[in-house]
Structure 1
């Protein structure tokens, strides 16, 4: 089913206690790697949605959540179905690295920002990682 309005989604690039970031490969991005995230629920702030989605998908609690950027994905061929998404991205930290994946996550890796180049990232995650590199 094709939605007739854009869907607001959140995602977070999250640093673990050792300074590496979490990357995940999910069922929704055609084998490409990205960051945990999902749709914003009615009555929920963007930050609340990012914290909830991250916990649901990985089991991890976030702290120091801060806005990073907003992107628009219009009928991206990288996504598993036709969709128009407004992607609101955050940077955050977590104090743990033990992942309890939900059914969407196929595999995951903790990586330095430099090492992320070895992963086939979706376009939107690549933009987020590049922003993190520029901001230091």
Structure 2
């Protein structure tokens, strides 16, 4: 049932996603995301089951009272069964579409083997100049970070 609902959600126009977020979320929310690069400089992306543009940066929301650095480790593990370690804070960014703050960390994989979840069906490394169809803001963030960490 969850897969059917997520498939329907993914096919809805972006304005419905934004409206639903505005109605159901607090006036201002915060999220965390991670960028993980391999030795060749490729970036790790998750294939989300519920997004219109399936490929995207791993991340999620903070639970009440949770520290952002703990949230990204928890979210990544819940969605992939892989443990990560935070290397450094890369950026704090706000969204233009609605009041949202994203805390972006540079991380590395510590241990574990990928296991699909109801939110994430696949993970894959991509060349930063050959990214799949995804949100422009995420593409911009990846390309900015790739230059920053060189």
Common fold by TM > 0.5: yes
Q: Which 4+ stretches in 1 moved above 4 angstroms? A: 16-19
In 1, distance between residues paired with 2:114 and 2:40? 15
Q: 1:106 pairs with 109, 121, 126, which one?
A: 121
- SS of 1:68's partner is strand
Q: Which of structures 1 and 2 has the bigger CA Rg?
A: 2
Q: 2:107 pairs with 92, 99, 103, which one?
A: 92
- SS of 1:5's partner is coil
After superposition, residues 1-136 of structure 1 pair within 5 angstroms as: 1=20, 2=23, 3-16=25-38, 20-75=42-97, 84-96=99-111, 98-114=113-129, 117-135=130-148, 136=150
Quick check: which one's helix share is greater? 2
Would the alpha carbon gap of residues 127 and 22 (structure 1) be closer, same or farther in structure 2, given more than 3 Å must change? Answer: same
What is the TM-score normalised by the length of structure 1?
0.77
| Runs (5+) with no aligned partner, structure 1 | 76-82
Would the alpha carbon gap of residues 59 and 17 (structure 1) be closer, same or farther in structure 2, given more than 3 Å must change? Answer: farther
| Runs (5+) with no aligned partner, structure 2 | 1-19
What is the TM-score normalised by the length of structure 2?
0.71
Check whether the contact 2:131–2:139 (CA below 8 A) recurs between aligned residues. no
